[in-house]
Amino acid sequence: MIRKTTPLAILLLGLLPAAAMASELPDFAKGIRAGQIVAISDGDFVGQTYADGRLAPAAAGFADLLSVIALDGRGRSSASVRVSNSVTAAPEILAVTEDGRTAFVTERLGERPSTGETTRDLPPGRRLFALDLSDKAKPILVATQEIPAFPEALALSPDGRTVATVSNTPEASFVTLSGYGDRRFGPARSFDLAKLGVTGTAKGPRGGVTATNVQWHPQGRILAVNINTQDRVAFLALDEAGALRPWGEPVTVGRDPFVGRFSPDGRFYLTSNWGRDFAATSLDGRLPSTPSTISVVRLGGASSSQMPAAHERLLDVATGNSAEGLAISPDGSLVATVNMHTTAFPPSSPRFVRNGSVTLLRFDGASGALTKIADYPFEGVLPEGGTFDLAGEHFLATVFHGHAGASPDAGPGLETFRVVKGEAPRLERLGRIPMPHGVHHVVVTR
């Protein structure tokens, strides 16, 4: 079910010396407004792993990778570096500093042992990684820090000096703050969400609390943490001593708020609500047959973490089926979700489909109004992460891999659209940038 590797994909897999093997990108990629594209790939899974628990064949030679594509006017690609990561987390396991010189990655599940064949063979992830991207042809791993097990997501503070992660151990859910500078991590500070008022009474680990996303407010003093098993978002403030405390009451949003984003001005928080049934015991039962939604939360007292906060859920809008990735354009006027649909089901399943999609929506940054524009389908398995470019003129969506028998332009890569602005915004498909097997999140920087 995995298409034949292209020359560019071989390069990015790191199987050949990247510095000496630069390859031309598709012509349309040269128009992307960014200095570089950074993407993360999981080499252990294939789409059907979610259904049968079987990892990718070891003989396929796939690897966990961070890949960098330099957009220097010549449209030339550069290398990859091995770094452990897992598609079982939200797409939010990759962040890059604004200057594009440092990337951070975390792993929900650890590296595959040599004899590993199923998901049960994968150990808990426990590490946060820093990678130096100063030389795009030679990205290198420069620092590693141990954090609480099963990290689900990370976010980088606006000043680029602190990485926040959320983890769910069998005992507790944690927010961990890790300082970073001079190519090294400072001491990690972990905060138990239960001690910050985020508790549950359900049976099972942590009283039913699972944190799947963390985001920094643009002003750098507030964190949003998605608790997808409780359909709510908790907001936390960082005090002068560097400790976290609750900032207003948690806000109830739509079902299964897997990821979220602050609006660029920090007045609103948007959640992409996948809508899964956590009581189900099968993939068919867990994945919804109805569209996912976006909830819009207006923040109270957003101008200061010291002000009383009374947050308000404004509205919900339907997107596409099994939406996971969420992106907001740099000017805040457009929102997009990346929708997996049931592309990972076995072809024999009556729910199997070949196409995922991107949903485009218009956002009013003054009122918080959100309006769906259209869905844009494309072929491929497990499209998850997505981003606008730096000017909001392109949108890139990750495609984990292609279907069996897929054409060469429908394999793993970055499905790329032009964003047509104006009175009637829309997306126009340009093509797919080939990437290594398992690509599941993407970031662009200058």
Per DSSP, what are the bridge partners of residue 364? none
Q: Tell me how far CA of residue 137 lies from CA of 31, 199, 442, in angstroms.
A: 21, 46, 18
| Domain presence at residue 193 | yes
**What is the spatial distance between Cα 85 and Cα 112, in angstroms, rounded to a whole number?**
10
- Sheet of 102-106: strand order equals 94-96, 102-106, 127-132, 140-146
Neighbours of 82 (CB within 10 A): 14
How confident is the model at residue 307, as a pLDDT?
53
| Domain presence at residue 2 | no
- Residue 307 is encoded by which pair of tokens? 């002000």
How confident is the model at residue 25, as a pLDDT?
85
| Domain presence at residue 261 | yes
Q: Residue 320 corresponds to which amino acid?
A: G
Whole-angstrom distance between the N-terminal and C-terminal Cα of the chain?
A: 35
Q: What is the DSSP letter of 137?
A: T
Following DSSP, what letter does each residue of 230-242 receive, concatenated? Answer: GTEEEEEEE-TTS
Give the CA-trace dihedral at 413, 214, 120, 281, to 10 degrees.
-100
Per-position pLDDT tens, the chain of length 446: 332 233 333 333 333 333 323 457 898 998 999 999 999 999 999 999 999 999 999 999 999 999 999 997 665 667 899 999 999 999 999 999 999 999 999 999 999 999 999 999 999 999 999 999 999 989 999 999 999 999 999 999 999 999 999 999 999 999 999 999 999 999 999 999 999 999 999 888 899 999 999 999 999 999 999 999 999 999 999 999 999 999 999 999 999 999 999 999 999 999 999 999 999 989 999 999 999 999 999 999 744 545 557 999 999 999 999 999 999 999 999 999 999 999 999 999 999 999 999 999 999 999 999 999 999 999 999 999 999 999 999 999 999 999 998 887 899 999 999 999 999 999 999 999 999 999 999 999 99
| Domain presence at residue 316 | yes
| Domain presence at residue 1 | no
Buried b (16+ CB within 10 A) or exposed e, 207-234: bebbbbbbbbbeeebbbbbbbbbbbbbb
User: Domain range holding 51?
Assistant: 7-445
| Domain presence at residue 84 | yes
| Domain presence at residue 301 | yes
Indicate the number of domains in the chain.
Answer: 1
**What is the spatial distance between Cα 235 and Cα 219, in angstroms, rounded to a whole number?**
14
| Domain presence at residue 377 | yes
**What is the spatial distance between Cα 231 and Cα 194, in angstroms, rounded to a whole number?**
16
- Is residue 155 within a helix (H) or strand (E), and if so which, with residue range? strand 151-156
- Is residue 52 within a helix (H) or strand (E), and if so which, with residue range? helix 49-52
Residues 179 and 165 sit within 8 Å (Cβ to Cβ): no
**What is the spatial distance between Cα 12 and Cα 10, in angstroms, rounded to a whole number?**
6
- Residue 196 is encoded by which pair of tokens? 């910050």
Residues 11 and 308 sit within 8 Å (Cβ to Cβ): no
**What is the spatial distance between Cα 238 and Cα 227, in angstroms, rounded to a whole number?**
19
| Residue 242: CATH number of its domain | 2.130.10.10
Give SS3 for 127. Answer: strand
- What φ, ψ does residue 198 adopt, rounded to 5°? -95, 95
